[in-house]
């Protein structure tokens, strides 16, 4: 192919350039004449949200009051847009959600919000474009981007029975727990049909037609690899179901006792979230899922009620339960109350301690752990500090609910995986209900706990939506 058909020569290049509009970027003003238009812009003034200030959003609020033009806030994603909208609503500002630039330029309101890939803002006489970098700083936004990218390669969560893998345990409504072996096609009277092949104890096989798929459900036990398989041709599964039905009578008595206790007692009503809480929420480096936002709204409503909270939050590992607990703890401490976080193991206590310290690093909140990792002298010191009100958040095992632990102003108890505590510990937990707000988090609720939630005697929130990229 001749070169002139692939490349432009110098004359052709400049001829093409002359036919197009030119954009000149610089600091000096162009000569004003026909065909030339100066677009003047400058950097925004400092608008950063200062989490440690008495009024974290003071800079932005002062700017928005004095600026006579239109303001457009550009967020990293729809989730971040929702968070910032709530933050602005808390200050009696109602931004208009838009999807394209013309809606901004042609609109009659003064404040708009959208999501787009924009790193920095600009300021003209009539327009101010403000990004998350301007509000939260480049470091926070970079951290958000890194963490979102970190989760991109995770497998999608299983959403339906069709995606169950060979070897996974399943539950048949009539035969109990078996193991999925795959699909098999069988021909009867010249008609081919698909069947699910299930393996039960002693190698017994069961063929389930696809038309009976409604009888199959996923196994939700703690350890799928070691799920106990039931025996075909016996009443083992029937006995297991009968035993569960008999346990309902004990559950009913316990529920009635707890319900009566909660109804007769008046708890502490936490105040509305402040600017500091809104700033704490905005610094979350992930994008919240709709379920997370809904759950946090339910938790806040419970905490602001005069009735003691007893809410169960169910969600898979990594779905954002810990952030819910952190926000609830922040509100409690900001309202002058102490928070106790109960975990089943010492290792988990130390993991939570580090997570909470990292999340609360910019706030004057005292966090400590109480477990066997502390020396007797350290444990005695922590107990005294709890009594004196010097520790705001304490994380530990069942030691936190022993009789020797006294709190000055305990207002919130957060329980992680309640089903992993022993009988004696659960009895101690029962005594806390009705005295303080209780927030329980679990990935695998035991039948008793789940029944309490489904019976409306413990409020239930479900986080079923996986975070972006999971």
pLDDT at 155 over 50: no
pLDDT at 432 over 70: no
Q: How many independent structural domains does the chain possess?
A: 3
Domain CATH for 227: 2.40.10.170
Name the range with the highest mean pLDDT among 173-177, 204-208, 327-331: 327-331
Sheet hosting strand 459-463, strand order edge to edge: 367-370, 393-396, 338-342, 410-416, 437-442, 310-315, 459-463
Q: Is the dihedral of CA 214, 220, 223, 226 positive or negative?
A: negative
Tell me, yes or no, whether 36 lies in a domain.
no
pLDDT at 69 over 90: yes
Mean pLDDT, the chain, as a whole number?
Answer: 82
> Is the CB of residue 429 less than 8 Å from the CB of residue 228?
no
Return d(Cα 203, Cα 186) in angstroms, integer. Answer: 20
In the block, residue with structure tokens 């959600």: 97
Neighbours of 288 (CB within 10 A): 23
**pLDDT range class, residue 152, cuts 50, 70, 90:** very low
Say what angle helices 321-334 and 275-282 make with each other, to 10 degrees: 160
pLDDT at 165 over 70: yes
pLDDT: which is higher, 132 or 143: 132
Return d(Cα 395, Cα 350) in angstroms, integer. Answer: 8
Return d(Cα 86, Cα 90) in angstroms, integer. Answer: 6
pLDDT: which is higher, 123 or 254: 123
Over residues 324-337, the pLDDT tens digits come to 999 999 999 999 99
Closest CA to 446 of 421, 470, 465, 424: 421
Q: What is the pLDDT of residue 268?
A: 86
> Is the CB of residue 315 less than 8 Å from the CB of residue 462?
yes
> Is the CB of residue 413 less than 8 Å from the CB of residue 340?
yes
Return d(Cα 108, Cα 59) in angstroms, integer. Answer: 24
The DSSP output letter for 164 is P
User: Are residues 269 and 408 located together in one domain of the fold?
Assistant: yes
pLDDT at 48 over 70: yes
Tell me, yes or no, whether 433 lies in a domain.
yes
Domain of 88? 58-150
SS3 373: coil
pLDDT at 299 over 90: yes
User: Are residues 85 and 123 located together in one domain of the fold?
Assistant: yes
Tell me, yes or no, whether 416 lies in a domain.
yes
User: Are residues 372 and 432 located together in one domain of the fold?
Assistant: yes
Closest CA to 72 of 109, 125, 38, 119: 109
Alpha helices in 48-100, H assignment, sequence order? 58-66, 78-89
User: Are residues 305 and 406 located together in one domain of the fold?
Assistant: yes
Q: What is the pLDDT of residue 157?
A: 30
User: Are residues 359 and 416 located together in one domain of the fold?
Assistant: yes
Closest CA to 416 of 319, 328, 313: 313
pLDDT: which is higher, 455 or 176: 176
The DSSP output letter for 162 is G
> Is the CB of residue 342 less than 8 Å from the CB of residue 394?
no
The H-or-E segment that residue 72 falls in is: strand 70-75
DSSP symbols for 378-441: HHHHHHHHHHHT--SEEEESGGGGSTT---SSEEEEEEE-GGGS-HHHHHHHHHHBTTBEEEEE
State what percent of residues in the chain have pLDDT above 70: 80
Domain CATH for 304: 3.40.50.300
What are residue 206's DSSP bridge partners? 198
Q: What is the pLDDT of residue 158?
A: 33
pLDDT at 193 over 70: yes
Q: What is the pLDDT of residue 469?
A: 59
Tell me, yes or no, whether 156 lies in a domain.
no
Q: What is the pLDDT of residue 189?
A: 72
Return d(Cα 86, Cα 63) in angstroms, integer. Answer: 19
pLDDT: which is higher, 196 or 223: 196
Of 150, 181, 202, at which residue does a domain stop? 150
Across 144-156, average pLDDT: 44
Around 435, how many Cα atoms within 13 Å sit in the side-chain half-sphere? 11
Q: What is the pLDDT of residue 248?
A: 66
**pLDDT range class, residue 233, cuts 50, 70, 90:** confident
> Is the CB of residue 129 less than 8 Å from the CB of residue 121?
yes
User: Are residues 188 and 330 located together in one domain of the fold?
Assistant: no
Sheet hosting strand 111-115, strand order edge to edge: 96-97, 111-115, 70-75, 127-131, 122-123
Q: What is the pLDDT of residue 443?
A: 81
pLDDT at 415 over 80: yes
Across 424-430, average pLDDT: 59
Across 187-208, average pLDDT: 87
Of 199, 234, 269, at which residue does a domain stop? 234
Return d(Cα 111, Cα 69) in angstroms, integer. Answer: 9
pLDDT at 160 over 50: no
Q: What is the pLDDT of residue 357?
A: 95
Torsion angles phi and psi, residue 383, rounded to 5: -60, -40
pLDDT at 456 over 60: no
Tell me, yes or no, whether 203 lies in a domain.
yes
Tell me, yes or no, whether 218 lies in a domain.
yes
pLDDT: which is higher, 282 or 455: 282
**pLDDT range class, residue 87, cuts 50, 70, 90:** confident
Q: What is the pLDDT of residue 302?
A: 92
SS3 127: strand
**Of the ranges 226-235, 256-265, 316-325, 342-351, which one carries the lowest mean pLDDT score?**
256-265
pLDDT at 215 over 50: yes
Domain CATH for 122: 3.40.50.11140
pLDDT at 228 over 70: yes
User: Are residues 423 and 343 located together in one domain of the fold?
Assistant: yes
Of 194, 211, 234, at which residue does a domain stop? 234
**Of the ranges 67-81, 93-107, 130-144, 361-375, which one carries the lowest mean pLDDT score?**
130-144
Q: What is the pLDDT of residue 203?
A: 92
**pLDDT range class, residue 433, cuts 50, 70, 90:** low
């Amino acid at each position: 192919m001749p070169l002139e058909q692939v490349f432009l020569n110098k004359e052709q290049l400049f001829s093409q350039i002359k036919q197009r509009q030119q954009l000149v970027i610089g600091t000096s003003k162009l000569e004003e004449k026909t065909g030339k238009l100066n677009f003047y812009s400058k950097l925004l003034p400092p608008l950063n949200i200062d989490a440690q200030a008495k009024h974290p959003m003071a800079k932005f609020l002062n700017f928005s009051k004095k600026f006579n033009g239109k303001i457009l806030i550009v967020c990293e994603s729809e989730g971040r847009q929702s968070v910032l909208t709530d933050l602005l609503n808390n200050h009696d500002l109602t931004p208009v959600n838009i999807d394209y630039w013309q809606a901004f330029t042609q609109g009659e309101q003064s404040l708009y919000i959208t999501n787009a890939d924009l790193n920095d803002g600009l300021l003209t006489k009539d327009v101010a474009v403000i990004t998350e970098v301007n509000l939260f700083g480049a470091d926070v936004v970079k951290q958000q981007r890194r963490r979102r990218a970190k989760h991109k390669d995770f497998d999608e969560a299983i959403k339906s029975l069709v995606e169950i893998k060979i070897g996974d345990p399943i539950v048949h409504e009539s035969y109990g727990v078996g193991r999925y072996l795959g699909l098999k096609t069988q021909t009867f009277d010249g008609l081919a049909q698909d069947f699910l092949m299930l393996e039960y104890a002693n190698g017994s096989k069961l063929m389930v037609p696809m038309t009976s798929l409604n009888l199959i459900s996923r196994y939700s036990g703690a350890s799928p690899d070691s799920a106990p398989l039931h025996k075909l041709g016996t009443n083992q599964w029937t006995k297991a179901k009968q035993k569960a039905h008999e346990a309902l009578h004990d559950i009913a008595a316990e529920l009635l006792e707890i319900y009566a206790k909660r109804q007769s007692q008046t708890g502490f009503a936490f105040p509305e979230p402040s600017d500091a809480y809104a700033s704490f929420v905005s610094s979350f480096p992930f994008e919240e899922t709709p379920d997370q936002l809904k759950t946090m709204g339910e938790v806040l409503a419970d905490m602001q009620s005069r009735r003691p909270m007893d809410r169960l939050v169910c969600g898979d590992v990594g779905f954002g339960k810990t952030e819910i607990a952190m926000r609830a703890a922040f509100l409690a401490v900001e309202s002058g109350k102490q928070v106790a976080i109960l975990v089943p193991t010492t290792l988990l206590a130390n993991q939570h301690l580090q997570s909470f310290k990292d999340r609360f690093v910019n706030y004057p909140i005292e966090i400590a752990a109480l477990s066997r990792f502390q020396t007797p002298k350290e444990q005695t010191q922590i107990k005294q500090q709890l009594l004196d009100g010097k520790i705001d958040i304490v994380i530990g095992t069942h030691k936190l609910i022993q009789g020797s632990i006294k709190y000055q102003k305990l207002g919130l108890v957060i329980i992680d995986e309640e089903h992993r505590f022993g009988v004696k510990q659960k009895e101690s937990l029962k005594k806390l209900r009705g005295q303080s707000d209780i927030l329980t988090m679990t990935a695998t609720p035991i039948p008793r706990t789940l029944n309490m939630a489904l019976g409306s005697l413990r409020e239930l929130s479900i986080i079923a939506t996986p975070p972006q990229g999971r």
